[in-house]
Amino acid sequence: MHVRLSKSLHYGAVLCLVGLIILGLGWELRWAPIRPGGSYLALKVVPLLFAVRGVLRGSLYTMQWACMLVLLYFMEGVVRVWSDPAMASVYCAWVEIVLSLGFYLCAIFYVFPAKKAARAAKRAKKQEQFKQATDQTAPQDK
pLDDT tens profile 31-48: 999 888 888 989 999 999
Domain extent for 15? 7-135
Mean pLDDT of 59-63: 96
Q: Could you give the C-alpha distances from 94 to 8, 98, 138, in angstroms and in order?
A: 23, 6, 65
Q: What is the pLDDT of residue 136?
A: 78
pLDDT at 13 over 90: yes
Res. 139 pLDDT band, cuts 50 70 90: low
pTM of the predicted model as reported, rounded to 2 decimal places: 0.85
Q: Is residue 57 assigned to a domain? A: yes
Q: Is residue 142 assigned to a domain? A: no
At 39, give phi and psi (nearest 5°).
Answer: -145, 165
Q: With 0-12 CB in 10 A as exposed, 13-18 as middle and 19+ as buried, what is 55?
A: buried
Cα–Cα nearest to 27, from 74, 88, 85, 99: 88
* Radius of gyration of the CA atoms of the chain, in A: 22
Cα–Cα nearest to 12, from 129, 111, 138: 111
Q: What is the pLDDT of residue 138?
A: 64
Q: Is residue 1 assigned to a domain? A: no
Q: Is residue 141 assigned to a domain? A: no
Q: What is the pLDDT of residue 9?
A: 96
Mean pLDDT of 123-127: 86
Cα–Cα nearest to 1, from 117, 126, 130: 117
Q: Is residue 140 assigned to a domain? A: no
Q: Is residue 124 assigned to a domain? A: yes
Q: Is residue 2 assigned to a domain? A: no
Res. 120 pLDDT band, cuts 50 70 90: confident
Residue 60 DSSP class: H
Q: Could you give the C-alpha distances from 49 to 20, 22, 53, 96, 110, in angstroms and in order?
A: 10, 11, 8, 16, 20
Number of domains the chain is built from: 1
Q: Is residue 127 assigned to a domain? A: yes
